[in-house]
Structure 1
Amino acid sequence: MTDPTPIRVLLVDDQALVRLGFRMVLEAENDLTVVGEAADGEAAVRLAVETRPDVILMDVRMPQVDGIEATRRIVTANPSARIIILTTFDLDEYAFGGLRAGASGFLLKDARPAELTSAIRAVAAGDAAVSGRVTRTMLEMFSDRLPAMASSTAPTVDPTAALTPREREILLAIAEGLSNGELSERFFLTESTVKTHVGRVLAKLQLRDRVHAVIFAYDHGLVDRPSPRQGDAR
């Protein structure tokens, strides 16, 4: 039996030693291969087009074009692109900005090799590398940086019109941060049925993964938008 086609990974970081470290970890795995390296966001955008990687590991703070803007450009040009943001601090504003720009997750730069490879495999398979609950936590932390909702005088269009009533319930529960197991318990469904519903919700709303389902629900006012916490020095 032939080995499966390896997952193609593009490394983006302005530090050569960091890229080397990631390369050594990834190329020790039979199902992962590095197809290119970029030291800034501009080069990342170009290489994403040239190499068509399955997953991009994207640093945030880089010269010229930063990782968030590079993520936005790559996802705009190729909506199927899968990007993992590399960050120094857990649950920081840069990681959140990367998710809103279209990334499917984030990792600490000092993540263990097993965490890194597991996240890459998950994202390559179409899953998010960040849970809905973590995404909701980040929305609550950075709610003061969410864009204002459209004016109430604008035409009202139901963004969930394509969903069945049950699918809309599933979407709202995802926005709460519920896992498939928790969705199964709440709606008295098998996990396989839950997965089917989740897949249909994502497909009908053209959402990349559960992370973006949570963001979609908040952006469209489907759930209460958290108020910024008093005393935040931001």
Structure 2
Amino acid sequence: MSERISVLVVDDHAVVRGGLRLFLLAFPDLNLVGEAAGGQEALQFCAVQCPDVVLMDLMMPGMSGVEATRAIRRACPHTQVIALTSFLDTQLVQDVLEAGAVGYMLKSAQAAELAEAIRAAKSGKTTLSSEATTTLIQQKGATPLHQELTEREWEVYRLLLEGKTNAEIAAVLVVGVSTVKYHVSRVLSKLGVNSRAEAIAYGVQHHLVGQNSADHGVY
């Protein structure tokens, strides 16, 4: 068996933490390494041990989930954060993704869906609930912003939609990582989004995954 994925659960409700504890026990590849009742406690835990993935509640007293996400990502760049909440608010989704979260899931998600989101997060890949994707795109409007991408920007975006990292994109296109970072920045700017997660949500909503540039008028 490959190395288990270490997970920290952060929620101010003991009942929720207990439920997530039982959920994690059902998947042999997921390993609960800690629990925290708030953002500050989670940050203190990560200062000692950086887990692979943090399941982060957003609405907590004291340090909010958004603030904790930003602080944890600074302290532990290799730790990925999935927002796990009961709230679906456009601003909240945007804020936590901008803070560095790689996923946004509702607590009503099925266990298998959440497990897959954790596995994807470990690889740095984004998972958004369908509800979060919809609310993000509704906020952005219906203008086909992707048609403003150049051919090279589209190539980078297409690979980003496949979940590839900057290094992997650079290898495919035979360019430097710094060049890829520049094009990713341009793609995010043209799409009017602030993170790779939002860019992926845009691509899903506009059915761009698996398509080539000719299908969508990119020039």
Give your verdict on TM over 0.5: yes
Which has more helix, going by share of residues?
A: 2
The structure 1 segments of at least 4 consecutive aligned residues displaced by more than 6 Å after TM superposition are 192-195, 199-203
How do 1:26-105 residues align onto structure 2 when only pairs under 5 Å count?
26-90=24-88, 92-105=90-103
Percent identity of paired positions between Structure 1 and Structure 2: 35
Give the alignment partner of residue 205 of structure 1, picking from 173, 181, 199. Answer: 181
Backbone CA RMSD of aligned residues: 3.7
AA at the equivalent of 2:91: E
Unpaired runs of at least 5, structure 2 = 142-149, 163-167, 194-219
Number of aligned residue pairs: give it: 179
Give TM-score scaled by structure 2 length.
Answer: 0.67
How do 1:1-234 residues align onto structure 2 when only pairs under 5 Å count?
3-90=1-88, 92-130=90-128, 138=136, 140-141=138-139, 167-171=152-156, 179-180=161-162, 196-197=172-173, 204-205=180-181, 217-218=187-188, 220=189, 222-223=190-191
Q: Indicate the residue corresponding to 1:231 in structure 2.
A: none
The 3-state SS of whatever aligns with 1:107 is strand
Give TM-score scaled by structure 1 length.
Answer: 0.63
- Superposition deviation, residue 28 in structure 1: 1.7
The 3-state SS of whatever aligns with 1:170 is helix
The 3-state SS of whatever aligns with 1:168 is helix
The 3-state SS of whatever aligns with 2:128 is coil
- Superposition deviation, residue 170 in structure 1: 2.5
Distance in structure 2 (CA, Å) of the matches to 1:167 and 1:21: 46
The 3-state SS of whatever aligns with 1:126 is coil
Unpaired runs of at least 5, structure 1 = 144-164, 181-191, 208-212, 226-234
Shift in alpha-carbon separation, 1:196–1:92, aligned structure 2, 3 A: same
Q: Indicate the residue corresponding to 1:185 in structure 2.
A: none
- Superposition deviation, residue 173 in structure 1: 5.4
Q: Indicate the residue corresponding to 1:147 in structure 2.
A: none
Distance in structure 2 (CA, Å) of the matches to 1:5 and 1:123: 15
Q: Structure 1, residues 39-94: CA drift from partner, whole Å, max 9, x if none? A: 11001111122221000000001111000000011112222220000121346432
Shift in alpha-carbon separation, 1:93–1:16, aligned structure 2, 3 A: same
